[in-house]
């Protein structure tokens, strides 16, 4: 994972020269599956590309920060707010699972919030 110093956007690094062909193919396949995900609570994959013998995918920029940031700023969340986040995250996970995908790294740092606090499970991964 790398942050673009100009835009601040996060770019996921999919491979490097030492990775084998099977992993590269799996990564590209997962990125393509992710790019077809259409749900209001899931960060969109914008582009998958290869450069310098490395596969990348870029995701839409979400300006609201992470759920972790929100919790740290707020100190503690009210029960109703937690329930709202849980419903939104659950809906996104249910959609992903219906498409045969799992998140594999669900934690507050990986839940992105749009302005208005709509949670987005970001940094997803697929598994078989």
Catalytic, 3? Answer no
Tokens 């920060």, residue located: 65
State the Cα–Cα distance between residues 41 and 92, nearest whole angstrom.
6
Q: Distances in Å between the alpha carbon of 75 and those of 67, 69, 70, 71, 114? A: 12, 10, 8, 6, 19
Other C-beta atoms lying within 10 Å of the C-beta of residue 82: 12
Q: Give the active site residue among 3, 4, 16, 105.
A: 105
State the Cα–Cα distance between residues 41 and 26, nearest whole angstrom.
24
Burial (CB count within 10 angstroms: exposed 0-12, middle 13-18, buried 19+), residue 126: buried
Active centre residues (catalytic)? 105
């Amino acid at each position: 994972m790398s942050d673009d110093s100009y835009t601040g956007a996060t770019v996921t690094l999919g491979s490097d020269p030492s990775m084998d062909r099977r992993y590269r193919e799996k990564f590209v396949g997962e990125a393509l599956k992710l790019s077809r995900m259409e749900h209001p609570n899931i960060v969109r994959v914008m582009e998958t590309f290869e450069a310098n013998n490395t596969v990348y995918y870029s995701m839409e920029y979400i300006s609201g920060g992470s759920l972790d940031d929100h919790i740290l700023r707020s100190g503690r969340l009210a029960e109703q707010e937690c329930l709202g986040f849980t419903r939104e995250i659950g809906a996104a996970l249910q959609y992903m699972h219906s498409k045969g995908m799992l998140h594999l790294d669900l934690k507050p740092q990986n839940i992105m919030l749009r302005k208005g606090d709509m949670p987005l499970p970001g940094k997803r991964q697929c598994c078989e």
